[in-house]
Amino acid sequence: MRRIAILGSTGSIGVSALAVAAAHPDRIEVVGLAAGANASRLAAQVERHRPRVISLAADDGLAAAQAGMSSPARAGIEHAASGAAGLRAVATHPGVDLVLCATTGTTALDAVLAAIEAGKTIALANKEVLVMAGGLVMAAARRRGVAVLPVDSEHNAIHQCLHGRPAGEVRRLLLTASGGPFRGWSAERLDGVRPADALAHPTWRMGRKITVDSATLMNKGLEVIEARWLFGMPADRIDVVVHPQSVVHSLVELCDGSVIAQMGITDMRLPIQYAFSYPDRWDSRLPPLDLAACGRLEFSPPDPERFPCLGLAYRALRGGPALPAALNAANEVAVEAFLAERLAFTAIPAVIAEALDDAEGEAPADPVRLDDVRRAHARAIRCSRLRITELQSRR
């Protein structure tokens, strides 16, 4: 029996993870659920899955969720808390073996580190945690003998392709990118992109932040950084190929030139289930991949001119231990401003590039500590907000 906790249970990955749990009641027990603000959905999840520990971001949300539950569901909860303490309580509950981190942004970093210290297996769907503090998280996991299993579809694919292969056999990792909704758009047309355009992703249904990141290709940039930490692979051995059909989820090139790909339908229940079942494989009732119905599969190189965010991620990865944290923070601020229609789509990379310039001026600490990463994160947020205000005053 896998006894799981989900951080971010009401988001799109969390909901898919609970669908996997519901499909395997004999193999998965849901012990903990942590949500952000969606009290009514959390209450419904508690009703269905009967966890022992729950949390929400705020106290009033927690009260609303508890008010929305039946008394038997409420009686099954041993511990309910809110905020950072609540997230940590769910992540470290003694009844939990595996913690699925599916929150957005960097809110769950502390909880993930606490879960590692408590010896829990980590299934990671949130890439920002590794982008911000990949070196620290992986070092903590190694020290504690804890596995960090990737749920992000590309990394899950690579994890499947690598399965037990010695590092010396692997030459290169190839991440596929759908290319987002603006793949064929001209630079001029990109200038006029509105939030609604960016939120219409061609192949995957996801949250707002990650959908915009897919449109700028920053999502792929963050994934390159994520891959660097998950698989211990240097940046120059991680490449990106645009593959609009999202049938091949990613590939591994071996030392003899042979390339192994993982393919499947675009449904996150598949990688989530593999993380839950690993190292085993369980049956699933998901529809099979029908290659003949897929038709043509296309592959092309990403365009660094129209989509500079990918190059910025490589720059951050090569530039020193605190730069990815600055990149990630600046991106969060820029995407938020774009969604609020305070920043043009094509100005997102410019804001991030300035935050990297600013971060490069700081002498890098070696070895990097959590405080250094937090400082770089906070500094990049300030720098980007300032820049966005300047750009707005010019409009």
Binding site for Mg ion (CB under 5 A): 152-154
Closest approach, Cβ 133 to Mg ion, in A, equals 19
Q: Which long-range contacts (CB under 8 A, 24 or more apart) does 349-354 make?
A: 349/216, 349/308, 349/309, 349/312, 351/384, 351/387, 351/388, 351/391, 352/218, 352/309, 352/312, 352/327, 352/384, 353/308, 353/312, 354/330, 354/383, 354/384, 354/387
Nearer to Mg ion, 29 or 213 (CB): 213
Nearer to Mg ion, 154 or 358 (CB): 154
Helix, strand, coil share of the chain (percent; to 5): 50, 15, 35
Q: Return left, alpha or beta for 257; rule: phi > 0 is left, psi -120 to 50 is alpha, else beta.
A: left
Residue at shortest CB range from Mg ion:
152
Closest approach, Cβ 154 to Mg ion, in A, equals 5
DSSP string, 186-255: -HHHHHT--HHHHT--SS----HHHHHHHHHTHHHHHHHHHHHHHHT--GGGEEEEE-TT--EEEEEEET
Nearer to Mg ion, 54 or 222 (CB): 222
- CA 205 to chain CA centroid, nearest Å: 14
Closest approach, Cβ 92 to Mg ion, in A, equals 27
Positive or negative, the Cα torsion across 340, 343, 344, 346?
negative
How far, CA to CA in Å, does 319 sit from each of 143, 312, 362?
26, 10, 11
Supply 162's token pair: 């690598």
Closest approach, Cβ 223 to Mg ion, in A, equals 6
Closest approach, Cβ 103 to Mg ion, in A, equals 16
Nearer to Mg ion, 154 or 372 (CB): 154
Nearer to Mg ion, 53 or 233 (CB): 233
Nearer to Mg ion, 45 or 214 (CB): 214
Closest approach, Cβ 95 to Mg ion, in A, equals 30
Nearer to Mg ion, 13 or 56 (CB): 13
Residue located via tokens 């365009």: 303
Supply 290's token pair: 């029908």
User: Distance between CA 19 and CA 23 in Å, rounded?
Assistant: 6
Nearer to Mg ion, 55 or 211 (CB): 211
Nearer to Mg ion, 55 or 153 (CB): 153
Closest approach, Cβ 143 to Mg ion, in A, equals 28
Cβ-based neighbour number of residue 237 at 10 Å? 15
Closest approach, Cβ 268 to Mg ion, in A, equals 9
Q: Which one-letter DSSP state was computed for residue 357?
A: H
Closest approach, Cβ 314 to Mg ion, in A, equals 17
